[in-house]
Amino acid sequence: MSNYRRSQVPGGTWFFTVTLADRQSRLLVDEIELLRHAYGLTQRTRPFQTVAVCVLPDHLHAIWTLPEGDADYAGRWSLLKSTFSRQFPAIPQSHSQMRKREKGIWQRRYWEHQIRDASDLQRHVDYIHYNPVKHGLVERVADWPYSSFNRYVAEGLLPSDWAGSAGADGLFGE
């Protein structure tokens, strides 16, 4: 078994990609209210700041900053994923999934990247906001409803026509 090393910087900021097991699924947008409930419950139970977020049909990207002295983002993702999954009936599972009490909705692992500096943060925020265009879901970033982009526009951090249309480069993030 692989030995994954995770950065454990208390109060740090991380970029995450969390993916459904079924990459053809639309579950996250079809059940957006259940996902919002799980996200909100997690945030109230184990506080963190959402710097940016984008929910796509089969995966989501987020940037979180944890409170000073706290580095347990893994516990937060576990709570969020389990809260969301409990809303669905059990489906036939593998022996491994039954042993781990999983429903097979989420991929077990997720990608995390510790944000290093302001430039790194900006690249990842841009990547998150441009992702629906990159995946061909919309022509303009502003047209995707499941993103923090419109909050950035409302706060005057980005113009509503940021990144133009689907013809833009989108060389952000990873």
Tell me which residues are annotated as active site: 146
Quote the CA–CA distance of 127 and 14 in Å, as a whole number: 14
Quick check: helix, strand or coil at residue 20? strand
Quote the CA–CA distance of 36 and 31 in Å, as a whole number: 9
Contact 9, 71 (CB under 8 A): yes
Q: Is the dihedral of CA 150, 153, 154, 155 positive or negative?
A: positive
Quote the CA–CA distance of 73 and 23 in Å, as a whole number: 23
As given in the structure block, the two tokens for residue 23 are 């990459």
Residue with tokens 């265009």: 133
Q: CA separation (Å) from 84 to 39, 77, 79, 98, 154?
A: 8, 11, 8, 17, 29
Using alpha carbons, select from 21, 4, 5 the residue that is nearest to residue 106.
21
